[in-house]
Structure 1
Amino acid sequence: MARKPGSSPSAIKNRAAKTAAALAPAGQAAAGQAAAAAKAPAPPKKPINPLRFAQEVRAEARKITWTTRKETWITSVMVFIMVVLASLFFTFADWILGLGANLLLKIAAG
């Protein structure tokens, strides 16, 4: 299978560098390349604040939309119906395969 032209990793990197250079202001392009080459160390991690964490958890919990009692009931009934149908299908399939295996064993036994 042939590759598309310009899909090699080096071509992709070159396009990304050109795009970054075009989007950066004129004076910042040279400084950005020098800074990228220097690889500054990562900033120190902030200490964990338990109070802020609890506030963020509460804020996220408020975004949860819970299902209604009716939706839960309907979903539970649908799951029960699917379980019954699946069990009937697999029981029937097992019965058919068992008949086939017994038939083959009878034929092999003579």
Structure 2
Amino acid sequence: MAKLDPAQFVREVRQEVARVTWPSRKETLVTTGLVLALSALAAVFFLVTDQLIQLVMRLVFKIG
């Protein structure tokens, strides 16, 4: 079993973080905008779908 050395662990983590390719601010803003837009689009889609299913169910079962 490997010896647990917190200092060595921290050094290795710092080395790994230094190798990470971080996205630019512009890339982050663009992808965030896309996520928000697609989430809103999905919400509208499911709202419309739910309303249509509700309408069909009311017609089929003559409720309301």
TM category (shorter chain) comes to: 0.7 to 0.9
The one of 61, 65, 76 aligned to 2:17? 61
In 1, distance between residues paired with 2:57 and 2:2? 67
Q: 2:40 is aligned with what amino acid?
A: V
Instruction: Tell me the residue number matched to 2:41.
Output: 85
Q: Structure 1 residue runs of 4+, over 6 Å off? A: none
Q: How many residues align?
A: 63
TM-score normalized with structure 1 length = 0.52
Identity %: 35
C-alpha RMSD of the superposition: 1.5
In the TM superposition, residue 46 of structure 1 has moved relative to its aligned partner by: 3.9
Q: Which runs of 5+ in 2 are unaligned?
A: none
Q: 2:12 is aligned with what amino acid?
A: E
In 1, distance between residues paired with 2:2 and 2:34? 48
- Higher RCO by CA contacts (8 Å cutoff, separation 6 or greater): 2
Structure 1 residues 1-110: aligned runs within 5 Å: 45-106=1-62
In 1, distance between residues paired with 2:27 and 2:61? 51
Q: 2:35 is aligned with what amino acid?
A: V
TM-score normalized with structure 2 length = 0.84
